[in-house]
Structure 1
Amino acid sequence: MDWYIRIVKAFIDRKYIVKIRMANVLIVVCALNVGLLNTVYAGNYYGKTVNIAIVTDGASENAEKHRELLQAEIRGLLEGEYSVNFLSGKQYDGGWALKNIQKVFSAAENNENIDIVIAHGLVSSHVAINTMHLKKPTIATLFLDSDIQSVPQKGKTSGRHNLTYIQHEKTFLKDILLYRDVAPFKTLAVIGDASMTEIAEFRRMLESAKERVKEDGIEFVFVADSGDVDSILAEIDKLITQNDAVYLLPNERLSQKQLAVLGEELLKRKIPAFAMQDNRVIEYGFLAVYSHENTFRRERRRVALNIKDILDGIPAEELSVHLEIDHQLYINQQTLTALDLGLTWNTLKRAKIVNTGLASSPHLSLSQMANVALENNLDLKIERKTLAVGRSDVDLVKAKRLPQLSLGLQQTIIDNDRAMFSNGSNAERDLSASLTLQQVIYNEAAWSNVSAQELLQKSRESDLLTTELDVIEEATLAYINGLRAKSLIEIETSNLRLTEANLKRAKRRVVAGVARRSEIYRWQSQEADNKRSLLNAKSTYKNSLLQINQLLNRPLNTPFVIEKIDKQHAIFEFNRKVTSTYLTGPSALVDFANRSEAYAVTHAPELKSINAVIAAQERLLKAVKRQYYVPDISLQATIQEHIDKNGDGDNYPQGVGINDTDASIAVVFTLPLYSGGERYAEVAQQSNAIYKLRYQKASLENGVKQRVRSIFNQLSASYSGIELSGNALVAAKKNYEMVRDSYERGTVSIVDFLDAQNQVFAAERSSANAVYDYLDDYMRYQRSIGYFFYFNDPQGIYSLMFNNSSNASVNTGVAP
């Protein structure tokens, strides 16, 4: 009371009268009077125990769980102000019968020790709503459809003494028409608690609903739930076929296990099942539910807030009954596939597809991506075959230095007069066989070609390492791109949800007369743009998955799940450790960059490849110069046997001791004296080729150095950008919340509000991109130094670049 007197006295003091109008003083005094009355009213509860009775339709596993969660929510909110005592259990359990529910509800209302009554169930809520004279503040938590169910309403309140309830925007009838777009049906079996059939209004409501949907070609049948799944299924088998559907009303009697059995059996019968409220039934094979993942939590929170308001002095009949929940259509992809159903584009645009089967699909980690790419990538397979061809080239040139042995068979026919005068050395018809051995003793071209091909093979081996590094880089960047695209879907979805919520706010502002319809149109335009952006984001994500499958050389429609990389992933330890250990200042940063560059120049397979090519060209140049003074030396031996000689000249003259076997051996020295300037041209050609390669090497080396330093600079900036973009997102969200509240009060324009939302969207994208930009730079940095240390030994980079005695060789670094 003292605070009231002090404030009123201050406002009526003369020194304030000159500053404010008397009308404003009166307004403040009236407001203070209301506050005083509420304080006096609330004083009846403050500091004492509040007894709250929770009346339930009946006892069950689900009912007990929901009741405990509700009690915990209320205790958490009132803790520190009120001591709460809950009265529940058998004494306030309706036993799933209308008369018993009415009896226990009446007992709670008449109990002088009870301060507040909560009707926590479909039937108990009906009893509360239809009780004309409530003695205690009463909260009804559930009813079906305000369009066809009689509920007291005065504006946004109940208008009935001591009564408030929770009303959603969604209704029973709207659900049914929505679900028919998902799975066409003619007859709908509505499963509800058996106690509902005892309520005359429910029977009337069901008949009214039947009449309303009859023009849409839908027929209702009611299936009573007495807690026995077999009985429910037996009744369903009598009433509907697989061309029909099932609709589950809010249900607390069936346990989670029973719901699972019901969903499984309906799926076996090829009957689509829907639910009114609990989106958890999706897990049990139900096809769809139009709900919100936090519906029950939001309802419990509203009940707790209502109790707080009542205890603070606000009459129950003055509390808002509307609970705004942005409902979402959830569709079970696995059930959709099992029922062989398809969705329209219109349904897909507003639905969230769950249980896509990806959970059972193989997961793909970053390391697995690199390993599978190394094993299956087509470019690498091409390079490996190129290397195999190169090994054959080496074997071919080596073979020319080894002995060559050949067998010949020759049939010769000459004219008879020539044969007659040959004296037996050339028969008219001669069949002979020969065996020839050839051996190169020294040939500079052959010797140099072997050396050159061996060096070129080393170049090809380095080229393979280069391709492996490129494939790992391309694969990991594709993986990160997939993560980026996936995060964009989440961001676009979140932005769309914000726009949808703001569209509802605009509609309420128009109804309240504080905004023009142009605001609705503006938000509708924004909503359409957001939906288009979301579709583009989904398309980008699908394309990123196609790219991954293409890089891994597997069917493009192969399903898989890419594992998320968040800020706590081990991959971020590199920068944390390097920053804290080595990058302690500008000079340390320069030293790290110098060591990175030195390591890259030493181990880059591109440089090793061109070094080998230069060495091969130098060996060929040496061979060309030696041709001026080094002869070619070769040995050839032949033995020939005349197998069959006939005709004229087939015999040697009498007394000549010559047999039919001929043998010869020769050593040949060859030294070209003049070749028309060919050797001089070859020397010039090889010399110029070497100069060209050396220039290419210098250019390549500069490129390697520049790439290392450039990417290192990006890596240094992108890691810091993660924290900065996170701070920007926090600030953007705070700004959005402030602008949103001001927009609801009408103190800022829609332009300012849109700008605040766009800032949040941009900040969310920037924050996500900062993480993936760092990961991109992290992979590119490893590629630039020619060693993917993350996949092999996360600690290895320290010994490779900070231990001068390290003799580590280049390695792609991917663990098996």
Structure 2
Amino acid sequence: MFYLTKNLTLSIIFLLSISSFYTPTAFSQDQPQDLTIGILYDAQVYKESKFIDILEKEVPAVMGSSYNVTFPDKYQLSSEWDDDRAHEQFKLLQTDKEVDVVICLGVLGSTIAIQNKNLTKPTILWGVIDPKGQGVPLTEEGTTGIHNLNFILTSSSLKTDIITFHDAIKYEKIAVLFDDYIHHLYSPAKPLDRIVKDIGVEYTAFGVKQDIDSLLAQIDTTYDAVYASFMFKLSDEKKKELFEALAERGLYVFTAEGEEGVKNGALAGLKTEDKFDIISRRIALNIEAIFYENTNAKDLPVRVDYEEKIVLNAAVAGQLSYLPKWNVIFNAEWIDAVPEESELLSLENVLDEAIAENMNYKASQFGTLSGDELRKVANSALMPTISASMAGTWIDQPTADRAFGTRAERQLLGTLELQQVIYSEKVFVNARVQKYLQQSREAGNEQVMLDVVYQVSIAYFNLLYAKTQIQITERYLESTKRNLEIAQLRENVGYSGNSDVYRWQSNLAQSEQQVIDANLQERQQMLVLNSLLNRDMSSPIFVKDVELTDGIYAGLASEGMANLVKDPISLLIISDYVVDRAVLQRPVVQQYAAQMLAIQRQQSSDSRNRFIPEVALQGSYNRFLARGGSGTESITIPGGATGLDPLDQNWNISIVASIPLFSGFQKNRNYQKTKYDKLQLEAQQQQINLDVEKEVRSALYELASTSTNITNSREAMEAAQKNFEIVRDNYSKGRVSIIELIDAQNNAFESEQNAANAVYQFLQSSMKIQRAVGTFSLLQTDEEREQTTEDINELLQKLDR
């Protein structure tokens, strides 16, 4: 009997187990189940958010092929902030049998869901401002504990915003703005009272309607700052108008709308790059837990943490003269800080401005103009000299009586004199010497201009390099943050202890300091460039990056002169060519050549001046303009029939030749001095030629080095970055230690710096060789550039032979 019963039982179990493969449940594993999601929006603006597009893709992706996830339009309901309508729509979603999950987006829908005591289906909320104040005190596990209820509580909250804003501004009285419907639906006083008590400030909450004028009338200058929560009913134009008016009153505005609010004119906000992705993923995972793991929504965690970054409006910060802390300045994202294309300065723009505004070059130009006046003064000695004079005399009567009419008692005499150099070695040589000296001054002025162009170009490249360093250090900072997250995950799974976490936290602090240092270095380079351009030292400069193929490097980029120094023979040929050009056109060489002409002319003059006289033409014309008293009457010559009237005018003209017979050996001494001056200048000329040749050849060696270093350093960077990714992946899997990852990251960081440095070193080398030659391609005419190209092509042909 027992045996039969046992066999019957086993048979029944076997049959049941076989039949289970043919039950509707088993069959449904091959046919996906329908999962309908209904959403209650507070307003259409929620529905139009890109978050919905992300959510509609994320949930089906997480649920997989076992569920046919849909978001039917008839269950996408918007209350438009109408309380009665929202209650009706929420009831519809809760009672409709086709809806499997209800999502409420907004404060109104979330508040209605919380107030509902009997949720018939899983309900997920995103719009809870203050869980405790809204009647959802969280459990110790961070869940709601309410049947079928879960909500999203992000790290971005009213408390976070208010405290972050206070840390940045240190306000004492703040106006807090809420959408009017939120202000009446849920009083924000409770959470605000707790928040402001902790930081010790005063506040007033305002409901925002369409009429912003009445709102502005209530926010007077006793307030230091304004916190603007989400104001969905206001258009972007209205928000801009509101924020602009508050800024004009000197009020700092923090917006809960993050980057969008800052773009509308708020001073600051918080931003998360992938906020919508994180929230949608959490909602999708919660739905997965509910339907795959049969977890009640009340037992799902509500907290969602993500990293936020402060966003600042550069224009508003300038208007308010707001200067945040260094770490805020350099770690924040700035809106309106990126200049327009027209504001970006190219190297050509900077050089043009430097030539027009640089004070050293202006001083040199004025000195050259002053020297040219000396040349004109020397030439003026070759021109005739005409002078006019007038003399009035009054002598005693007896003397006038005995002067026989040649001198009146009172007389006024006008004189006109003429002098003209016919021959004067001193005058002639001075005119010629001043001409040569002016040529020397002009060459010196040209050298100053070349020095300014070189200094400005180097400052420009240094600023570009500093900007690149900011980008590199920021990437290094983000990489360190990522490694810290990996270390925290390793600690959670038992791959490592907390020492790795501490090490990465230490590296994170160092990385943040590197970002600060890089930004300060950029500001220092701005000071250098501002000084060279004679600009306001505090004004920012936005520079445009350059490419190695830019026309400004004609004949010097990778396809030009750099290509000619790729081997020793090529380097030798191009060096001789460039040295020959430099000796001919380098301004400092031309400066010494002009001085040599001047001293040679002076020497020949000193030699002849000892034997050649000076010849000049002199003449004068005198006229008595007035006479009075004794001596003005006619003179009667004894025995003469008539008297003679005094002469009213007379003139004379003469040629004078003079030669000093003895001047204390002065001429001989001058001759000897000029001789030694010439010998000194000859030595200086030889040395300057050597210096120019040395500078040219050294610049070419540097160009050869930097041109090859670009390729090598770039290859090293790519290899180091690949190695870093491999080591990081192995570190995340527990295969390598933190020391290996730190070494790999540091190597990748240094190799990227080296690669960037190689580019800018090449650019600096290209400008150095142009300065050494004595001309910059940017300052050349098209014909001169074409001639340079032809010369280089000829060199290339020689090398090919």
Classify the TM-score, shorter chain: 0.7 to 0.9
Match of residue 276 from structure 2: 296
Match of residue 702 from structure 1: 690
Letter in 1 for 2:166: R
Q: Distance between the aligned counterparts of 1:348 and 1:530, measured in 2?
A: 15
Match of residue 434 from structure 1: 415
Distance verdict in 2 for CA 1:418–1:680, change over 3 Å = same
Distance verdict in 2 for CA 1:728–1:167, change over 3 Å = farther
Distance verdict in 2 for CA 1:310–1:736, change over 3 Å = farther
CA contact (8 A) 1:56 1:93 kept: yes
| 2:48 match: secondary structure | helix
Match of 1:278 among 238, 241, 258: 258
Asked whether 1:603 is paired with 2:590, we answer no
Match of residue 9 from structure 1: none
Distance verdict in 2 for CA 1:245–1:692, change over 3 Å = closer
User: Within 5 A, what are the aligned runs for 1:708-723?
Assistant: 708-723=696-711
Match of 2:181 among 163, 188, 194: 194
- After superposition, give the CA deviation of every residue in 1:376-433 in whole Å (9 maximum; x if it has no partner): 2222222222222222212211121222222344567899999999877778987644
Q: Distance between the aligned counterparts of 1:775 and 1:99, measured in 2?
A: 70
Match of 1:636 among 583, 593, 618: 618
Q: Distance between the aligned counterparts of 1:552 and 1:455, measured in 2?
A: 32
Match of residue 430 from structure 2: 449
Q: Which runs of 5+ in 2 are unaligned?
A: 1-24, 795-801
Distance verdict in 2 for CA 1:759–1:315, change over 3 Å = farther
- After superposition, give the CA deviation of every residue in 1:593-619 in whole Å (9 maximum; x if it has no partner): 444333333222222222111111111
Distance verdict in 2 for CA 1:345–1:394, change over 3 Å = closer
Asked whether 1:627 is paired with 2:585, we answer no
Match of 1:802 among 779, 790, 793: 790
- After superposition, give the CA deviation of every residue in 1:424-458 in whole Å (9 maximum; x if it has no partner): 77789876443322221111221122111112112
CA contact (8 A) 2:173 2:222 kept: no
CA contact (8 A) 1:138 1:316 kept: no
Q: Distance between the aligned counterparts of 1:46 and 1:219, measured in 2?
A: 62
CA contact (8 A) 1:635 1:667 kept: yes
- After superposition, give the CA deviation of every residue in 1:476-516 in whole Å (9 maximum; x if it has no partner): 22233333333444444454555566667767877888877
Distance verdict in 2 for CA 1:671–1:568, change over 3 Å = closer
Asked whether 1:87 is paired with 2:67, we answer no
Match of residue 770 from structure 2: 782
CA contact (8 A) 2:40 2:104 kept: yes
Letter in 2 for 1:779: M
| 1:556 match: secondary structure | coil
Q: TM-score, normalised by structure 1?
A: 0.76
Asked whether 1:690 is paired with 2:649, we answer no
Match of residue 652 from structure 2: 664
CA contact (8 A) 1:129 1:152 kept: no
Asked whether 1:464 is paired with 2:445, we answer yes
Match of residue 758 from structure 2: 770
Q: Which runs of 5+ in 1 are unaligned?
A: 1-40, 807-816
CA contact (8 A) 2:161 2:256 kept: yes
Q: Distance between the aligned counterparts of 1:707 and 1:641, measured in 2?
A: 70
Query: 1:100: Cα distance to partner?
Result: 5.7
Q: How many residues align?
A: 759
Asked whether 1:678 is paired with 2:660, we answer no
Letter in 1 for 2:47: A
CA contact (8 A) 1:433 1:641 kept: yes
> Percent identical across equivalent pairs?
26
Match of residue 614 from structure 1: 596
Asked whether 1:563 is paired with 2:544, we answer yes
CA contact (8 A) 1:108 1:114 kept: yes
Q: Distance between the aligned counterparts of 1:112 and 1:583, measured in 2?
A: 81
Match of residue 210 from structure 1: 193
Query: 1:554: Cα distance to partner?
Result: 3.8
| 2:266 match: secondary structure | coil
Query: 1:540: Cα distance to partner?
Result: 3.4
Query: 1:624: Cα distance to partner?
Result: 1.6
Distance verdict in 2 for CA 1:391–1:495, change over 3 Å = same
User: Within 5 A, what are the aligned runs for 1:48-67?
Assistant: 53=37, 55-61=39-45, 63-67=47-51
| 1:637 match: secondary structure | strand
After alignment, is 109-118 or 56-65 more displaced? 109-118
CA contact (8 A) 1:412 1:431 kept: yes
CA contact (8 A) 2:179 2:232 kept: no
Query: 1:282: Cα distance to partner?
Result: 0.4
Distance verdict in 2 for CA 1:791–1:238, change over 3 Å = same
Asked whether 1:394 is paired with 2:375, we answer yes
Q: Distance between the aligned counterparts of 2:44 and 2:564, measured in 1?
A: 62
After alignment, is 710-719 or 612-621 more displaced? 710-719
Q: Distance between the aligned counterparts of 2:579 and 2:162, measured in 1?
A: 67
After alignment, is 467-476 or 96-105 more displaced? 96-105
- RMSD (CA atoms): 5.1
Match of residue 457 from structure 2: 476
CA contact (8 A) 2:354 2:532 kept: yes
Match of residue 375 from structure 1: 356
Match of residue 171 from structure 2: 184
Letter in 2 for 1:176: I
After alignment, is 76-85 or 481-490 more displaced? 76-85
CA contact (8 A) 2:326 2:516 kept: no
Q: Distance between the aligned counterparts of 1:444 and 1:310, measured in 2?
A: 112
Q: Distance between the aligned counterparts of 2:26 and 2:391, measured in 1?
A: 126
Q: Distance between the aligned counterparts of 2:375 and 2:444, measured in 1?
A: 17
Q: Distance between the aligned counterparts of 2:606 and 2:671, measured in 1?
A: 6
User: Within 5 A, what are the aligned runs for 1:42-441?
Assistant: 53=37, 55-61=39-45, 63-67=47-51, 69-70=53-54, 74=58, 86-95=70-79, 96=81, 120-121=105-106, 143-144=128-129, 150=136, 167-181=153-167, 182=169, 184-186=171-173, 188-192=175-179, 194=181, 207-211=190-194, 213-214=196-197, 216-218=199-201, 229-230=210-211, 234=214, 243=223, 246-250=226-230, 255-264=235-244, 266-267=246-247, 272-300=252-280, 323-336=304-317, 338=319, 354-355=335-336, 363-410=344-391, 432-441=413-422
Query: 1:332: Cα distance to partner?
Result: 3.1
Q: Distance between the aligned counterparts of 2:455 and 2:362, measured in 1?
A: 16
Distance verdict in 2 for CA 1:177–1:690, change over 3 Å = same
CA contact (8 A) 1:73 1:304 kept: no
| 1:243 match: secondary structure | coil
Letter in 1 for 2:77: D
Q: Distance between the aligned counterparts of 2:119 and 2:77, measured in 1?
A: 19
Q: TM-score, normalised by structure 2?
A: 0.77
Distance verdict in 2 for CA 1:67–1:330, change over 3 Å = closer
Q: Distance between the aligned counterparts of 2:588 and 2:228, measured in 1?
A: 67
Q: Distance between the aligned counterparts of 2:67 and 2:563, measured in 1?
A: 54
Letter in 2 for 1:275: T
Letter in 2 for 1:621: Q
| 1:229 match: secondary structure | coil
CA contact (8 A) 1:192 1:222 kept: no
Q: Distance between the aligned counterparts of 2:28 and 2:243, measured in 1?
A: 50
Query: 1:66: Cα distance to partner?
Result: 1.8
CA contact (8 A) 2:63 2:288 kept: no
After alignment, is 372-381 or 569-578 more displaced? 569-578
| 1:562 match: secondary structure | coil
Match of residue 18 from structure 2: none
User: Within 5 A, what are the aligned runs for 1:452-601?
Assistant: 452-496=433-477, 526=507, 529-558=510-539, 560-565=541-546, 575-578=557-560, 587-588=569-570, 590-601=572-583
Q: Distance between the aligned counterparts of 1:684 and 1:113, measured in 2?
A: 116
